[in-house]
Amino acid sequence: MNTQTEQSVWVQAVSYEELALNTGKTIRYQDVEVALFKLQSGKLHAIQNRCPHKQGVLAEGIVCDEHVFCPMHDRKIHLPSGEVQKPDTGCVQTYETKIQEGYVYIAFPTAREIAS
């Protein structure tokens, strides 16, 4: 089930209980690929699934606290902000998440937002 707001479309991704702790899951919607993480605390974070350095698949990275390490070159990315941690630079897009009736939803930008 998808619901659209003025600024984004909320897409049902997966059952909350189906997500393993500290393990990434790849979610695809149209031409967008997101890495979804459920942390030890139960918090959810969704980020762009490709590292800005060499396009490593972040859903395959190692999670430690609120960070994921790119499996290709070990870049450390802060899940809440998408910022690559020093000494490296860069960032990945983050996506808003919510849990509704036991399912995880991710807010994807509308086509109009992507074009602007």
What pLDDT digit, counting tens, does each position of 38-92 carry? 999 999 999 999 998 888 999 999 999 999 999 999 999 999 999 999 998 999 9
Please give the Cα distance from 57 to 27 (Å, whole number): 12
Range of the domain at 94: 2-115
Q: Is the pTM of this model over 0.75?
A: yes
Number of domains observed in the structure of the chain:
1
- Backbone phi, psi, residue 68, to 5°: -125, 140
Give the pLDDT score at 86. Answer: 94
3-state class (DSSP) for residue 30: coil
Structure tokens at 6: 């003025």
Give the pLDDT score at 6. Answer: 56
Task: Answer for the pair 87, 53: CB distance below 8 angstroms, yes or no.
Answer: no
Give the pLDDT score at 111. Answer: 58
The domain spanning residue 105 has which CATH number? 2.102.10.10
Task: Please state, rounded to an integer, the average pLDDT across all residues of the chain.
Answer: 90
